[in-house]
Every structure is written in C-alpha cells, then in structure tokens.
Structure 1
Amino acid sequence: MVIAVIGPSSRGAVASELAKHLHFHLIDEDDIIPTSQHSLPSSSAAAVAESKTLNSFFELVIQIAKTIRLNQGLIISTKLSHSSLIDDLKQLAGTADERLVIVQCIEAQDASYRYQFEGVQVFTVDPKRFDANNLLAEMSSKVAKRNSTHLHALSLYNNYQPFTESGKGLKCKRCLELISGPMYQCMECNEYIFHKSCAEDPCDLKLVRQSCPKNLRASKEPPGYELPPEKQKKCETCELNKKDFSVSCRDCIFKTNMEGKFLPLIINHGSHSHPLNLLMMPPSYDYKFECCGCGELGKSISYRCYDCNFNLHVGCVLLEHTAKSIRHDHKLTLVYDSLEVTYWDKNSCEFCNNERKPEQWFYYCSTCEIAAHIGCCAADQSQ
C-alpha cells in the first residue's frame, strides 16, 4: 500500500504516526525540500520554481521507492500543491500492483486546499484531533482489497473494538468469535484480525517445540513448506482463481501455518522488548537475514520486529532456557545480553575454544563461570 498524506501544514505528525503504527517506510517532503521554498512570494517566477522543485521531489520519491519493497508499505508526506501530481502517485503504486490511498490533513483555515481525486480512496482528518487507531479502523473497512499478497505484519491494539462499515463487529480469523479487548490486526487488509490470545497461541514455547515440524526450524537452508495435502490451505485469492496450494504464495503459507498452528503468529521473547511477528516467505523470494541471536544467516522464515529490524531464526527462538551438555557437568543457562559486565572476559567458547562474539547469545555456567556457543550446545543435544 502507498499512502500519501497531503496538506499545506501539520501533515508531518500524521504521517509519522501512521508510519509508526503500520511499520511503513516514510518519505517526508519537508525533509527533502527546505521549508523556505514552500513560503516563497506568490509571483509567477516563484510558482514556476516551486513547481520544478516539487517535480524533482516526486522524481526522487520514485527513485527511492525503487530501492525498497513497496509491498512492505510506503507513506509519502507532501504538500501536493498541484493536484496533477496525483498521476505520479498512481503510477508509483501501479508499478508494484499496490493500492494508493490519500489522507488529506485539513484544518478549518485550509479548507481551500481540499482536492477531489478520481479513482483513489480519500480520507480526511483534522491534524489537531487526529487518532491513528480510528483512521486505520476506517481504512481497514473501506479500502478495497487487491488480489495481491503482503507480509501481514500484525500490530497490537489494547482495549479496542473494531467495526465493519456496516456496523457489525469483526470476528477473529482463528476462533471466529467477535473481537473485543486486546487484538492484533494486519493494517494492510482487514482479512487477518486476531484476539491477542489467538495470535500468541500457543504462548508456551514447550508446546511449540513439540509441535513445530523440524523443517521449519532450519537455519542455513530454506524451510520446506511442503506438507501433506490434508494440511495445505489455499488462501482466498488462490481459491478465487481456482489455483492449487503453492509454496510460492505467501498467503497460502501464512494460512497453512495459521490453521495448522505450527508456529505462533506472534511471540513475546525474552531477548527483545517488542512482540515478534512470524515472517514466512516463499523460497523463490530469496529472503535473507542475519539472526540477532546466533549471528548466522537465515533464509525465508524468521521472527521479526519491524520497528527495530530485529530477526531471529525459529530454531533460536525455540532454544531451551537451560541446557545440558555431555561436555560439562552442570546445567547451562541461555544468556541474551552478552554485554553485561559479568561476561566481558568470557570471549571464547569453552567447548570449541573459538572466539565468542559479545553481541551473540551463549550458554553460561554460573558455577564454573564458563561460556559456550549455542551451536556447540545444540550439537551436543542432537547426538
């Protein structure tokens, strides 16, 4: 989705709040074009100069957009003093088959800046009374869906009651009961809405370790999403187009995991202060990341904090908090914060004698004051 937050003033705070809630990229015209250029005298020469400046801004936006994934969302904050520039925004969204939504920031004194746009969903807000939750709920119910996939990044809302445009309460995608109280919602679509407890179920990692297929824990190789036919679930788009389940379809993978309850959609992990979203990408997308736990490269599937660009292997998330090794007599405790002063001099692995990077997790014996790579302990447990 591409959201253009427009208006002559006070739009920056609205754009920033939306970007924070949606975890979208943000490009602000005021960060690129000096404010002084927006307040030039209204002479014809100044108008021409401003028009050229805005055209340059949109050219720059398009260049930046080409370097990011538009299906992860983009918000553009712009004065949009020329309504003709809407065609550039339409073209930008169209190149990635994404929706374009306009959010007009209109205060009483700015009423003359209101534009009419054809073929684009427009929402009008008063920046002084702006509430992101209310706007996003309205957007979720009114914005038409495209037959395209996105990451379904779920955001948490506490004590919030969403409603459809008809006034009927929305139902949890997993348990099919009416939503009330804390919930997670994908703000790219209103297809995925969950009770907090349903999104985090099962919250007991012991149960996840028992039920999670081993192929989803793979760290160095893309996970095998191939499952028995009775466990494969087609997404609504593939159902509509009469297509079979495909490991190349993100929504098919998402729905299969959701209904099979192989992995929780959301995990609250002791290593990070924010909830972590489950991200499952088809192998063909060649999605790679560096695990913030072990430091190794990961592929296709991770638990991710979109705010902090924090990623973990599924296998690292499921590590036991305490472990036993055949090479040591005592139980070892998993440590996330390697930078605590207690561990500053523990810069090598007791088991393999190789260097231990301080930013990576490790297992620690407080009795003997030794540290070991998590991989070395995992290798012992697999024997």
Structure 2
Amino acid sequence: MTDTDIPAYPMERAAQCPFNPPPELQALQAETPITRVRLADGTTPWLVTGYADQKAVLADPRVSSDATRPGYPIGREGDRYETEEAPPAEAEDGPGIGFILMDDPEHARLRRMVTAPFMVKRIEAMRPAVQKIVDDLLDEMLAGPKPVDLVEAFALPVPSLVISELLGVPYGDHEFFQEQSKIIINRFTTDAQRRGAMGALVGYLAKLMGEKTQSPGEDLLSGLLPRIENGEISVIDAAQIGMLLLIAGHETTANMIALGTLALLEHPDQLKLLQETDDPKLIARAVEELLRFLHITHSGRRRVALEDMEIGGTTVRAGEGLIMANDIGNRDPRVFAEPDRLDLTREARNHVAFGFGVHQCLGQSLARMELQVVYGTLYKRIPTLALAGDIADVPFKHDASVYGVYELPVTW
C-alpha cells in the first residue's frame, strides 16, 4: 500500500444505509484482517477488522490503553475516545476522566472502587424502579400532544433518571450535564471547548461531593467518601470517576433506545416479535442483537503496542497504534451468519459492543437491564408507534463519537 492509498478513518456511513457500518470499512474487512488507516493528524495506525483478532488484541497485556504513551492513536482531540465507555482523554492541563484510559494496576485499583453498584444482583434489584420510570414517562407521552420527539420525551430521560439515582446526582440538573456531555462527545468540538465542558462537570461534581460529606446517601458518589477520607483518592479523582460514569451512563443507552426504535420501525417483522411476546429470554436476545447490529460507536477502541507482536499475519512494532473497529467486528460473517440482517431471535450475546478484556464496559449489566425494560414495554404500550415523517429527514449523529439520532419524531 502506497502512502496515498491509505484510507482515512473514521469513515463515512452510506446515507441510504444508516444502520450499517461504512461501506469502505466493510470492504476492508473482506480484503484484510489488518491495514493502515490515516487519522486527521496524519498518523497511520493499524486498523484491526476481524472479530477474533479484535478480541485477541483487547485481551493482550502487550497493548496499552494509556493515551499519553507515544504512538497512541489519538488522531486529533476530537477522536480521543474509548467508545461507549468514555469521553475523550484530557489534555495535559485539563481535567481527567477517571480510570478508563489507564493500564493495570492503577486501572484495576480505581475500577474496583465502583464495581459493586454494577454487579448483576444489584442491577436486577433496580429493575422495578426502572420499570416505573419507563411507565411514568410513557403515561406522560400518551397523555400529551403528538407527534412527539422520542429522544426528548423518553430516550434521554430514562437513562438520565437512572444514572442520576445510582450516582446520587440531582436529576434537576440534567439539562446542565446533558449539555456538557454533548460538547464532550462531539467529534468536532475544539480542544478548548471540550476542556471547558469537562472542567465544568468536574467542578460541579466536586462541589456535590463536598455537599455529600455533610449528608451522605446510599449512592455511588457517597460510597467514594471513605476512599477520600483515607487518602486513596482525592475529591477531584472522585469527581472525574463520576464524570465518566455520568456521561457513559446516559449517552449510550439514550442513543440505543432511539436508534433501536428507529431500526425496529424500519424492520416491522422484527418489531412485531417484541410487540407479541412476554418472554424475557426473547427480549434479552433482542437487546443483544440490537447492540450487535447497531454498535453505536464510530471511532474504535484504541490501543498502542508495547512490544512487537503479530496480528492477522502482520507484524506490528512496539509503539505503533492499533484501532479495533468493533462495529465491523460485530458484522464479521465468520462469526455471525448473514451479519447485515437484523434477527432478534439470533443468539448474539458474544458481540463486542461492550468491548473485551479488562476494559470491558463496567456498566453493561445496567445498560442491558434498561434496554430490556424499554424494548419489552414501549412497543406493547404503543403498538401503533410510527415514524412521523420520512427517515431521510431524521438527523443522525454523524458528528458524534456515539452514534444515534438527535431527534426522532414519532406518532401513534
């Protein structure tokens, strides 16, 4: 491959196929397991296209998640993401984002501090409360005018209410943290804008932590107070962890609710399966298949090689960047038969939408439970739900690291 042949990354989706990975990315997967791509800063890291190779790299201790290491494929500040689990890494003089762009043992030490609230049993205990949130929001929607923007009325409030309760962040402040989140995850936000938004969120959460010292609760942020008191972490460390979880906890699920609904409206045979079932196993399979099929992150999971290693028959040298394009990994025909077909009866739980290895998404149990409640309720409560307009007029988030729609006008 000559220098001029190296394709740019991230790649553009086809307008007529908004649920599929970019055609160029699909073509690369068919041609080669690993290839060079060009980022906006001119660097040319390796892009890993195959499912098996992606999992192998993500589980390999010879690669690093530390974005400060030379060779880490940043591209530009707007591309500096760990997909659905995190906003971009900080500039050297800006606020950090907790543990996600760290390596073990520090990554494991900090992650363990917030693991307990995301354990499956704890998440399952939240299911009735999430069901009430969903039902109450649908009651309000059905009682109001139509058409309605499903993003504003339902998709964004559901996970925002849930993560606010789990973290102990007042939901009354949701407009503030949602606005900062939009700035942080926009791929074209300037470095200064992003630092400002991250600084505002960290400052807000640090102030909230101070208030919790006087009146602690049963929430996750209050649970970090003893860690601060005994010197394990600082208030700013706790605020940065809170920012990571707050952004990840509402942005990704909100986009899956809205984009998943649009995909189902465009696949009425699959929508009918959810409308006519009370089987929790089928609903759970539907969640996994929609996670696989849509894979809402554009920019890949990024690493840098710590030593020479072979991937897909190619030698990657120490210090070279690696990008695992999990959206195309989830469409690998060697793993998923007819991968471009949405099939809610498929057993797709082995997808890589939540990543793999030690950095696998901490909040995956919460996301799964929320989506099971939503997908198992929305379409039965409103069986005549329909897109109010043409899909060509729906504003997709081509400018964000977390893919979805800005608005979804629906009626019934």
Question: Shorter chain as normaliser: what TM range?
Answer: under 0.3
Larger Rg: 1
Q: Which has the higher helix share?
A: 2
TM-score by length of 2: 0.26
Which of the pair has the greater relative contact order for Cα pairs under 8 Å at 6+ separation?
2
Q: Which has the higher strand share?
A: 1
